[in-house]
Amino acid sequence: MMGLPGWLNWVSWFVSAAVTSVVTNVVIVALLAINFKYSAVLPYSNVFVVFLFFTFYSVALIFMMFAISTFFNNGEFRPFYRVCQKHWLKSEYLAANLALAAGVIIHMLTYFWPYGMFTSTDDVYASMSLATKLSFCLLPNVGLYLGIISMLTQVTRP
């Protein structure tokens, strides 16, 4: 593809997404650390640790999106490749939009499905085994949610 080896194409997409994410993380951490009218959002947190936390989340999210993208072949969903090819998915533009929409839906499901389990009651979270909790943390959005809850618990502790 484009005269590049496959691995170099993946690396270039990773570097492009990582640079964008780092710039975004710098802005987010700056907004969390700046003293506004009353105080900063995270006044007692180390800014570098918060930056690392968001950067690790960004890298994990990029890798998850790479994993989701392997289910698509030129914008077509591989499990339904033959059906899509024969019938209604002849347009490449429509196929690319389907791939984008499916990627966004899968990403949102990895947040809202575990989020509903964690926030429904504390009994649900307390009754989960450690292996279940750790397996949920393989999803970047769950790790972000639990990390932010942990940070806020530490900051608001008397």
d(CA 48, CA 14): 22
Per-residue pLDDT of 68-108, as tens digits, reads 877 776 555 555 555 555 555 555 555 566 777 778 888 88
Helices (H), 34-80: 47-69
Beta bridge partners of residue 73, listed in sequence order: 76
Cβ atoms within 10 Å of 73's Cβ, excluding its own: 14
Q: 60: which residues sit within 8 A by CB, 6+ positions away? A: 140, 143
DSSP letter assigned to residue 24: H
What is the per-residue pLDDT for 68?
81
pLDDT category at 149 given cuts 50, 70, 90 is: confident
CA-closest candidate to residue 147, choices 62, 71, 54, 47? 54
What pLDDT, on the 0 to 100 scale, is given for residue 134? 82
Q: Which pTM does this prediction carry?
A: 0.76
Distance of alpha carbon 18 from alpha carbon 16, whole angstroms = 6
Beta bridge partners of 76: 73
The pLDDT mean for the chain works out to 79
Residue 56: its pLDDT value, please?
Answer: 94
| Inter-residue contact 114 to 136 (CB < 8 Å) | yes
Q: Distance between CA atoms of 61 and 144, rounded to whole angstroms?
A: 10
pLDDT at 90: 54
- pLDDT score recorded for residue 15: 94
